[in-house]
Chain A
Amino acid sequence: MSEIKSSETLKKKARAAASKPAAVGEDIDLSAFVGEAEPQSYRADASQLPARAKEQMLGVGVMLDDMGQRTGTYIQTNNTPVHTSATQEGIEVMAVSQAMKKYDWLSDYFWKAVAVDTDKYTASVELGQYDGYFFRALPGVKSQYPVQACLYLAKAQLAQKVHNIIIAEEGSELHIITGCTTALREEPGLHIGVSEFFIKKGAKVTFTMIHSWNPATAVRPRTVAIVEENGLFLSNYVLMRPVRSIQMYPTARCVGENAVVRFNSILVAGPGSSLDIGSRVILNAKGAKTEIISRAITTGGSIVARGYVEGNAPDVKGHLECRGLILHKEGIIHAIPELKGTLAGVDLSHEAAVGKIAEEEVEYLMARGLTRTEATATIVRGFLRVDIEGLPPLLGAELQRAVEASEKELM
Chain B
Amino acid sequence: MDDIALSIKQLTVEVEGKEILHNINLEIKLGGSHVLFGPNGSGKTTLLMTIMGFPKYRVTQGNIIFMGKDITRLPLDERARMGIGMSFQRPPVVRGVKTRDMVSACLRGRGDDETIGKLASRADLSDFLERDINQGFSGGEIKRSEILQLMAQRPQLALLDEPESGVDLVNIALIGELINELLEKDCPIRDRKCTGLIITHTGHILDYVSAHTGYVMCDGTVYCEGNPHEILKTIKEKGYKACVSCSVRSVPNE
Chain A positions near chain B (C-beta within 8 angstroms):
323, 358, 360-361, 363-372, 374-375, 378-379, 381-386
At the interface, yes or no: B76 with Cβ under 8 Å from chain A? yes
Contact bitstring B38-82, A, C-beta under 8 A = 1, else 0: 000000000000001011000000000000000000011100110
Which residues of the other chain, A, contact B101 by a CB distance below 8 angstroms? 378, 382
A-B pairs with beta carbons under 8 Å apart, 8 shown: A366-B76, A368-B80, A368-B153, A369-B77, A378-B101, A379-B94, A379-B97, A381-B97
**Which residues does chain A contribute within 8 Å of B98, judged by CB atoms?**
382
Is the CB–CB distance between B77 and A378 below 8 Å? Answer: no
Q: A369 and B92: CB pair below 8 A?
A: no
In the complex, how many angstroms separate the beta carbon of A264 from the nearest chain B beta carbon?
13
Q: Are A369 and B153 in contact (CB under 8 A)?
A: yes
> CB-CB < 8 A to B105: which residues of A?
365, 368-370, 374, 378
CB pair B94 A367 closer than 8 Å: no
Q: Which residues of B contact A385 (CB under 8 A)?
A: 96
Q: Does B241 contact A (CB under 8 A)?
A: no
Residue of B nearest to A383 (CB): B96
**A371 adjacent to B92 (CB under 8 Å):** no
Q: Name the distance in Å between B93's Cβ and chain A's nearest Cβ.
A: 8
B residues less than 8 Å from A323 (CB atoms) = 95
Given A369-B153, A370-B105, answer yes or no on A382-B97 (Cβ-Cβ < 8 Å).
Answer: yes
Report the separation of the CA atoms of residues A301 and B132 in the bound assembly, to the nearest whole angstrom. 29
B108 neighbours in A (Cβ, 8 Å): 369
CA distance A194 to B55 in the complex (A): 53
**Which B residues form the contact surface with A (CB < 8 A)?**
52, 54-55, 75-77, 80-81, 85-86, 88, 91-92, 94-98, 101-102, 105-106, 108, 132, 149, 153
Question: A373: nearest residue on chain B (CB-CB)?
Answer: B77
Contact (Cβ within 8 A) B96 A365: no
Please indicate the chain A residues that have their CB under 8 angstroms from the CB of B91 in the complex: 364
Q: Given A364-B88, A364-B91, A382-B101, does the pair A369, B96 have CB atoms closer than 8 Å? A: no
Q: Is the CB of A367 within 8 A of B92?
A: no
Residue in B54, B77, B106 whose CB lies within 8 Å of A372: B77
Which one of B54, B81, B97, B132 lies within 8 Å of A363 (CB-CB)? Answer: B54
List, in ascending order, chain A residues with CB within 8 A of B153's CB. 368-369
The one of A369, A378, A381, A382 that contacts B80, using a Cβ cutoff of 8 Å: A369
Given the known inter-chain contacts A378-B105, A382-B101, please indicate yes or no for A366 contacting B80, CB distance below 8 A: yes
Distance between A353 CB and nearest chain B CB, rounded to angstroms: 10
- Once the chains are docked, how many angstroms separate the CA of A86 from the CA of B80? 56
Tell me the bound Cα distance from A358 to B106 in angstroms: 20
Q: From residue B116, how far is it (CB to closest CB) to chain A in Å?
A: 14
Given contacts A363-B76, A378-B101, A382-B101, contact A368 B95 (CB under 8 A): no
Q: What's the Cα separation between A379 and B108 when bound, in Å?
A: 17
A385 CA to B97 CA in the complex, in Å?
8
Contacts of B76 in A (CB 8 A): 363, 366-367
- Cβ-defined contact, A364 with B77, below 8 A: no
When distances are taken between beta carbons in the complex, the residues of chain B under 8 Å from A365 are: 94, 97, 102, 105
Q: Chain B residues with Cβ under 8 A from A384's Cβ?
A: 96
Kindly state the separation between the CA atoms of A358 and B149 in the bound complex, as whole angstroms: 21
Residues of B within 8 A of A369 (CB): 77, 80-81, 105-106, 108, 153
Closest approach, in angstroms, between the C-beta of A364 and any C-beta of chain B? 5
Provide the residues of chain B in CB contact with A378, threshold 8 Å.
97, 101, 105
The 10 closest A-B pairs by CB, nearest first: A382-B96, A382-B97, A369-B80, A366-B77, A385-B96, A369-B81, A366-B76, A360-B92, A361-B94, A368-B106
Q: How far is the CB of B30 from chain A (nearest CB, A)?
A: 21
Q: How far is the CB of A75 from chain B (nearest CB, A)?
A: 34
* B149:A368 contact, CB within 8 angstroms: yes
| A379 CA / B132 CA spacing, docked (Å) | 11
